[in-house]
């Protein structure tokens, strides 16, 4: 494994610098550089940022990681960091692709690479939104910038051919041919079929799903299809009956809460989201608190919304062990924005 001294020596030589030139830039003696490169001593931690800046690399690039440490670093970066640079992205991509080249059926790097691309898209969409918003402020009637914002925020597309979910519907059907008992694939397929208005097909798929697998959410999908056909008012009692039937099933309760919120019954939605949260085992998801905060904002109660964002932050710390990262920073920004309007 390459030591930090060997790394400094290589970077210095690649830059065509002498030990004395590097020492002058860093404000240390030539003897100190020599000792680092011979692994007699190591630079102190306060010097590392200056060394990295001198060579135009990240501090992490000064260290050699084992393969498992690289995997761990990538996982942590994707989970906690949304300030990934292009160089960091390319370095992670290069490592994961090299792992796949060594063993094409290696699940771990394939899964991480898929996750990494998804995170990178999220980062780029955020950047696109920020710059399109700035451009729109300069030219408020620019349709181009409005379209960029629309795409970055995944707005509802009313073009039938675009919003028909053809590709995803075809994909889930292929998955089910290979894995006919895959409940998740059935649920994703039903979501797409209902959103595309293909209700007759959704009923057929739901009936098929029930013949090959059992899942309590199938009951909620049956009611949701009826809701789309006849309206929310016709199925309110059926949703309430589902909550009574499955008082300890957090997924059913979450689904019921969703439908009440979708139809602006925010107080009842909050009640069902709290029931869903209580029914969930640890570590619990933050979605319920997030949704409740949004409901309170729509009800005009920003103080309660702030309270649930604070609960969400504490939940991330208690149940998921996070002490830093973009998720916590994002909550602080939401609380700060709401607090300005109180």
pLDDT per residue as tens, the chain (342 positions): 678 888 899 899 988 989 999 999 899 999 999 988 888 888 888 888 888 888 888 787 787 777 888 888 888 888 877 778 888 899 899 999 999 999 999 999 999 999 999 999 999 999 999 999 999 999 999 999 999 999 999 988 888 888 899 999 999 999 999 999 999 999 999 999 999 999 999 999 999 999 999 999 999 999 999 999 999 999 999 999 999 999 999 999 999 999 999 999 999 999 999 999 999 999 999 999 999 999 999 999 999 999 999 999 999 999 998 887 888 999 999 999 999 977
- In the DSSP assignment, the letter for residue 280 is S
Q: Residue 74 is encoded by which pair of tokens? A: 């990538």
Asked whether 112 and 76 are in contact (CB, 8 A), the reply is no
CA-to-CA distance for 182 and 99, rounded, in angstroms? 29
CB 287 within 8 A of CB 306: no
Tell me whether residue 321 is exposed, middle or buried, using C-beta atoms within 10 angstroms of its C-beta: 0 to 12, 13 to 18, 19 or more: exposed
Burial class (CB in 10 A: 0-12, 13-18, 19+), 35: middle
- Nearest-angstrom CA–CA distance, 253 and 220: 9
Residues 195, 161: Cα–Cα separation, whole Å = 13
305 by Cβ neighbours in 10 Å (0-12 / 13-18 / 19+) ranks as: buried
Q: Is 216 helix (H, G, I), strand (E, B) or coil?
A: coil
- The DSSP secondary structure of 4-51, one letter per residue, reads HHHHHHHHHHHTT--HHHHHHHHTS-HHHHHHHHTTSS---TTTHHHH
Question: In this structure, what token pair is assigned to residue 157?
Answer: 């597309």
Whole-angstrom Cα distance, residue 176 to residue 173?
Answer: 5
User: From CA 83, how far away is CA 326, in angstroms rounded?
Assistant: 8
Q: What is the helix, strand, coil percentage profile of the chain, to 5?
A: 75, 0, 25
CA–CA distances in Å: residue 162 to residues 165, 167, 196: 7, 10, 10
> What tokens does 246 get?
């499955």
Helix (H) or strand (E) holding 55: helix 48-55
The answer to whether 157 touches 133, Cβ cutoff 8 Å, is no
Closest CA to 96 of 80, 73, 79, 121: 73
Omega into 186 within 30° of 0, i.e. cis?
no
Q: What tens digit of pLDDT does each residue of 223-279 get?
A: 999 999 999 999 999 999 999 999 999 999 999 999 999 999 999 999 999 999 999
């Amino acid at each position: 494994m390459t030591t930090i001294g060997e790394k400094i020596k290589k970077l210095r030589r690649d830059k065509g610098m002498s030990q004395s030139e590097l020492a002058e830039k860093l404000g240390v003696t030539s003897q100190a550089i020599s000792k680092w490169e011979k692994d007699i001593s190591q630079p102190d931690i306060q010097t590392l940022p200056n060394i990295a800046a001198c060579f135009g690399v990240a501090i992490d690039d000064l260290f050699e990681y084992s393969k498992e440490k690289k995997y761990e670093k990538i996982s942590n970066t994707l989970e906690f960091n949304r300030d990934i640079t292009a160089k960091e992205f390319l370095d992670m991509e290069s490592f994961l692709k090299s792992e796949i080249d060594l063993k094409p059926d290696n699940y771990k790097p394939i899964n991480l690479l898929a996750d990494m691309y998804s995170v990178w898209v999220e980062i780029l969409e955020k950047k696109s939104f920020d710059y399109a918003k700035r451009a729109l402020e300069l030219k408020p009637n620019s349709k181009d910038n409005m379209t960029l914002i629309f795409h970055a925020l995944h707005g509802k597309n009313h073009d039938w051919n675009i919003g028909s979910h053809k590709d995803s519907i075809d994909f889930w059907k292929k998955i089910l041919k290979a894995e006919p008992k895959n409940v998740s694939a059935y649920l994703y397929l039903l979501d797409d079929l209902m959103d595309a208005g293909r209700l007759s097909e959704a009923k057929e798929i739901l009936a098929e799903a029930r013949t090959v697998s059992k899942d309590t959410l199938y009951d909620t999908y049956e009611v949701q299809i009826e809701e789309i056909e006849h309206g929310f008012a016709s199925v309110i009692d059926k949703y309430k009956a589902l909550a009574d039937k499955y008082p300890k099933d957090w997924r059913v309760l979450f689904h019921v809460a969703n439908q009440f919120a979708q139809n602006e019954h925010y107080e009842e939605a909050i009640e069902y989201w709290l029931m869903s949260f209580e029914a969930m085992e640890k570590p619990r998801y933050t979605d319920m608190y997030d949704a409740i905060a949004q409901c309170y904002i729509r009800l005009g109660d920003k103080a309660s919304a702030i309270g649930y964002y604070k609960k969400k932050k504490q939940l991330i710390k208690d149940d998921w062990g996070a002490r830093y990262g973009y998720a916590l920073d994002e909550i602080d920004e939401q609380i700060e924005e709401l607090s300005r309007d109180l």
